[in-house]
Amino acid sequence: MENRLRLLYALQKIDLNLDEVQELKGDLPHVVANLEQQLQKKEDRKRGLEETLSKSIVSRDQADLEILSLKEHIEKYKTQQFEVKTNRQYDALAREADHAQEKIAKLTRDIESLEGKASVAKADAEKLGPEIEELRKELDERMSELALVNKEHEEEETKLRHEREKIVVRLDKADLRQYERVRKAKAGKAVVPVKRNACGGCFNRIPPQTVLELRKNTKILVCEHCGRMLVSDEIVESACALQ
């Protein structure tokens, strides 16, 4: 159990150092991620508008062709009306011509709607163009800044992550899950020492019985106030040997 506690405290120390490295980068990682998200949304929107424009044009052209075909049919019906011998045949051709004319009227309205949709899509896509270019330019600048900052701390960060991996593979999986859960809930600080009989995280007093149990290093104890994992001075002093 002592070794498990040492591993947990050693991991906490490394993670706090990694947190400090991230803080030195400031808001740049967040800014870059936000710009990438904005750019992705605008590019997706532009592609959607261009697809709408393309489909509208294809549908309009198909409607134009159908109108031409229907007009040919109407002319054909009119010619046939002079050739039929009965009123019934004449009326049937008249109905076909009327039906074709109705379809032409509907297709004409559809074409107007499609042209309007295409016009709006084209205008919106053209408006997005400069916005996307501006975002790309800003993203490139911010990524360059972040690359420089990363380079400054690359050696230190790589070393810390390597040390972290060596400890994580030795940790009990249940201990690691508990550690990660508490760390996420407590702003990065999951394992703390007890100083002057007080929690090193929330600074509330630790019951005397818990302090006595803690010194035995036989179990993982948590602060009853904040839920952080507690370690004794002996664990704190010996944890450095694990790194």
Of 141, 238, 226, 133, the closest CA to residue 187 belongs to 226
Residues 12-57 pLDDT 10s: 999 999 998 888 888 898 999 999 999 999 999 999 999 999 999 9
Cross-strand bridge partners of residue 198: 195, 205
**Structural domain for 142, as ranges:** 26-154
Stated as kind and residue range, the H or E segment containing 231 is strand 229-231
Residues 177, 149, single domain; the answer is no
- The residue from 103, 122, 154 where one domain ends is 154
- Does some domain include residue 226? yes
**What number is the average pLDDT over the span 152-162?**
90
How high is the pLDDT of residue 240?
58
- Residue 167 lies inside a defined structural domain of this protein: no
Q: What is the mean pLDDT of residues 110-125?
A: 96
Residue 116: inside a domain: yes
The three-class DSSP label of residue 147 is helix
Instruction: Check residue 90 and give its pLDDT.
Output: 93
Q: For all residues of the chain together, what is the average pLDDT?
A: 93
pLDDT attached to residue 63 = 96
Query: Are both 52 and 81 inside the same structural domain?
Result: yes
pLDDT of residue 80: 92
Q: Are residues 149 and 30 in the same domain?
A: yes
User: CA quadruple 31, 34, 38, 40: dihedral positive or negative?
Assistant: positive
The tokens of 193 are what?
């020492």
> Quick one: pLDDT at residue 242?
52
Q: Which two tokens stand for residue 50?
A: 């261009």
pLDDT digits (tens, 9 = 90+) for 215-224: 999 999 999 9
- At 143-153, the pLDDT tens digits run 999 998 888 88
211 and 94 within one domain: no
Q: What is the pLDDT of residues 81-104, one digit of tens each?
A: 988 889 999 999 999 999 999 999
| The domain boundary residue, chosen from 154, 186, 215 | 154
Separation between Cα atoms, residue 139 and residue 33, nearest integer Å:
9
Whole-model pTM over 0.75: no
Domain end, chosen from 125, 154, 183, is at 154
Domain shared by 95 and 41, yes or no = yes
- pLDDT, tens digit, for every residue of 121-141? 999 999 999 999 999 999 999
Both 111 and 217 in one domain: the answer is no
**188: alpha, beta or left, given left = phi > 0 and alpha = psi -120 to 50?**
left
Residue 239 has pLDDT above 80, yes or no: no
| pLDDT score, position 117 | 95
The tally of domains found in the chain comes to 2
- 198-199 sheet: strands from edge to edge: 198-199, 191-195, 229-231, 221-222
**How much is the pLDDT for 153?**
86
